[in-house]
Structure 1
Amino acid sequence: MTLPQIDGDELLRHVPMHRAIEAIEQALLAGLDPEADLPRTVLDIDAGQLLLMPSTTSSYTGVKIAGVVPGNPARGLPRIVASYLLLGGATLSPVALVDGAALTLLRTPAVSAVAVKHLAIPEAKRLVVFGAGPQAWAHVEAIRAVRPLASVGVVARRPEQAVTMVERCRAADLDAEAVSPDAVSQADIVACCTTSRTPLFPSSLVAPHTTVVAIGAHEATAREVDTGMVSRATVVVEARTAAMREAGDLLIPLGDGQIGADVVAGNLAELVNGSVETEPSRPRLFKSVGMPWQDLVVAVAAVG
């Protein structure tokens, strides 16, 4: 029996962005508990990192094998390479092999969009995105699916990357321009999609109505937002268990004694089910590290 292989193009045909957002949200509404997900295994190897991400339900089991290779961009290759094996839940017989990089590129912004849908002000129109790579663009697409975006400010390390990202946004009928980090002061939504290990902007600039999404860091020693952002905001994470293992944005100020573990107002399931309260006087922060259940939900939607 030949194992079906789902490449990136086929994945998007089966699960366009709006469908991925819906699948994630519906799974959480149906009772999926992010706290019960299996932990990610991270192995440091010569090339970078090898990540093993398994997840299981009564119907399906799946595992993503991902490599984070810092030297790949200089070779003209993606920084993240991955494969996803979907198995039947009862028999563990192979069901499909999915392009893991494409799956990550789809499910990560879909998860962010679910958070934005429940955190951001309904009239949010101004997005500032840090980063100009594939995840940055995917976040523009995903956030646009849940809020009426009209303009995008792009913050990128390299001017040529910013130009390319701005042109892509304009081609999608969005006003766009390259901006400096202090443009967060004018943002309704901020998306941090970088490999930075240190905060990207002073949190004091962020307005009380703004929602910040930080997805770039999944290590205890790396962060994209500063301590002030965490202490000021209503903080939502995918799962407390995962955040307290991997989210440097939280773990660094926790280790310094500047915040307590009770800084987390809720996880994504609690947010979607309406048990997280926000306050008009406080910005909102969604901190994501990426979890195996998200891959499984979207992979299942691709074969369903």
Structure 2
Amino acid sequence: MQTTASTAPIWYSTEQVREAVSPDDARRLIENALAGGFDPASDPDRTSKPAGSGELLLMPATIGDWSGIKVVSVAPENPEHGLPRIQATYLLMDSKTLSTQALLEGAMLTELRTPAMSAVAADHLAPAGPCTLMVFGTGPQAWGHIEAMSRIRPISQVLVSARNEQRIEDLVQQTKQFGLQARAAAPAEVAQAQIVVCATSAREPLFDGTLVQPGACVVAMGSHEPGARELDADLMGRSVVIVEDPATALREAGDVIQAIADGTLGRDGFSTVSQLVRGEVARSTQRPNVFKGTGMAWQDLVVAVGVHEHFASRA
């Protein structure tokens, strides 16, 4: 661990965060933390408090020599003012003194770590070989997941489904410029996909879960609220279900919580991504494979340390 005696923390901008840690780097950092024995269950609970026109979320974490906290603001009306709905700043500290060593632009951390976490799970859950990727949503996380999934599997085509036709077209064009075949798609075309990513703010299921083929991998990461879900109870009930941490899933993952309430999924009917990485559970070829992610503070910390150590090694 390298720390600095300076009283002024180093600032890492959006551009510097992305320069230091690629999507593939972020995936490896997260997988290495899990493979190295870190238990996501040790992560403190995310807290949320009303503030101004929205809410503030606090996400603390400690892993070994490093501690940190992400402060997230959610202001639903911001897009009307040309501002992001979600903004964030990350404080990185050394665990020994809890002195702030760096400040990082937090939204880019989220854009990196969320697809990276999904890609860790999907790399173990998706079929080998070329895959059709279907993405629900058109925001930064939709694009981030396209990029991340293209690093773990050859993507034969990308199907995009959302409500706004112009935003669909924009994402299709961005994907084509990245070198992948892409087009708009209807929700029912989920039946063609070997990898499905749900990156929306939907509160109700996005598609008929019976259409998902056995052996396919479905990633749902668009919500962390008990009252919101992107996947229906049928799909959750007939799938291998992987979560980051059981207690967090039972507290925040509406897809899990509502499937349990509907009677299709048991309270112990899922495994963890740590077990998946360690080879203690495996994908099924006879059932769909679902990863339900809520996003956890340790993921931000792992990537933030990666950014800081990248620049420290060049100093």
TM-score over 0.5 (shorter chain): yes
TM-score norm. by structure 2 comes to 0.94
Matched, 1:164 2:170: yes
Any unmatched runs of 5+ in structure 1? none
Contact 2:219 2:292 in 1 (8 A): yes
Instruction: Give the percent of matched residue pairs that are identical in Structure 1 and Structure 2.
Output: 44
Partner of 2:283: 278
Q: Quick one: which amino acid aligns to residue 199 of structure 2? A: C
Matched, 1:289 2:294: yes
Partner of 2:39: 33
Instruction: State the Cα RMSD in Å.
Output: 1.0
Contact 2:236 2:264 in 1 (8 A): no
Matched, 1:76 2:78: no
Q: CA deviation at 1:253?
A: 2.1
Partner of 2:189: 183
Partner of 2:249: 243
Q: Which string of whole-angstrom CA distances, capped at 9 and with x for unpartnered residues, describes residues 49-72 of structure 1?
A: 211000012301100010122111
- Pairing of 1:17-56 with structure 2 (within 5 A): 17-56=23-62
Matched, 1:64 2:48: no
Residues in 1 aligned to 2:269 and 2:52: alpha-carbon distance in whole angstroms: 36
Q: Quick one: which amino acid aligns to residue 114 of structure 1? A: V
Q: Determine helix, strand or coil for the equivalent of 2:113.
A: helix
Contact 2:136 2:162 in 1 (8 A): yes
- Pairing of 1:191-206 with structure 2 (within 5 A): 191-206=197-212
TM-score norm. by structure 1 comes to 0.97
Matched, 1:173 2:166: no
Out of 9, 25, 33, the position equivalent to 2:15 is 9
Contact 2:234 2:264 in 1 (8 A): no
Q: Determine helix, strand or coil for the equivalent of 1:255.
A: helix
Matched, 1:154 2:126: no
Out of 256, 271, 274, the position equivalent to 1:269 is 274
Q: CA deviation at 1:46?
A: 4.2
Residues in 2 aligned to 1:150 and 1:278: alpha-carbon distance in whole angstroms: 21
Contact 2:217 2:289 in 1 (8 A): yes
Q: Determine helix, strand or coil for the equivalent of 1:145.
A: helix
Any unmatched runs of 5+ in structure 2? 1-6, 310-315
Partner of 2:4: none
- Pairing of 1:139-150 with structure 2 (within 5 A): 139-150=145-156
Residues in 1 aligned to 2:211 and 2:54: alpha-carbon distance in whole angstroms: 35
Q: Quick one: which amino acid aligns to residue 48 of structure 1? A: G
Q: CA deviation at 1:117?
A: 0.6
Contact 2:132 2:194 in 1 (8 A): yes
